[in-house]
Amino acid sequence: MKLTLLLAGAALAAMLVAQPPTCTLTLIPDQVRGVAYHVIFKVAPSCPADAVFRVRKSSTINQKKNGAPYQPIKPLVGAWDIGKTTSTVPGAELWTSLTWQWQVYDEAQLNPATQLPGTWRRIRTERTP
């Protein structure tokens, strides 16, 4: 019995140590001018080369009729792609009003409104503007 518990404990410890590194996207505000800030997106070095993040801006103060936060309609699909070596975010969009936040689409997180996988969450900021 003790041997079984020791083997199970060792197997569990090996699984915890062998977990793949997390792949994250971080936002770094590098300049602030008045009521706007410029962002740089940093993809974690542990991410695979083909990892792509879907990002968008979302208003923190303006809302639609149904109470959902307002998102810009540029581009028409409402979001852009960011990877280790590429980005579809237009340069002018990197300037962001202090009343807007950047969000990333998380396929694994449960959407509380639809009870389906996939929701938008705020991008972790390395430092505040």
Per-residue pLDDT tens digits for 78-100: 789 999 999 999 999 999 999 88
Confirm whether pTM is higher than 0.75. Answer: no
For residue 91, the 8-state DSSP code is G
Q: Is 58 exposed, middle or buried (0-12, 13-18, 19+ CB in 10 A)?
A: middle
Nearest to 42 by CA among 126, 119, 109, 100: 126
pLDDT attached to residue 12: 45
pLDDT attached to residue 5: 38
Tokens at residue 30, please? Answer: 């590098």
CB 25 within 8 A of CB 35: no
Using the predicted structure, report yes or no on whether residue 19 has a pLDDT greater than 60. no
Q: Count CB-CB contacts under 10 A for residue 21.
A: 9
Please compute the mean of the pLDDT values over residues 15-31 and round it to a whole number: 76
What tens digit of pLDDT does each residue of 33-77 get?
A: 999 999 999 999 999 999 999 998 887 777 666 666 666 655 556
CA angle 27, 63, 28 (to 5 degrees): 5
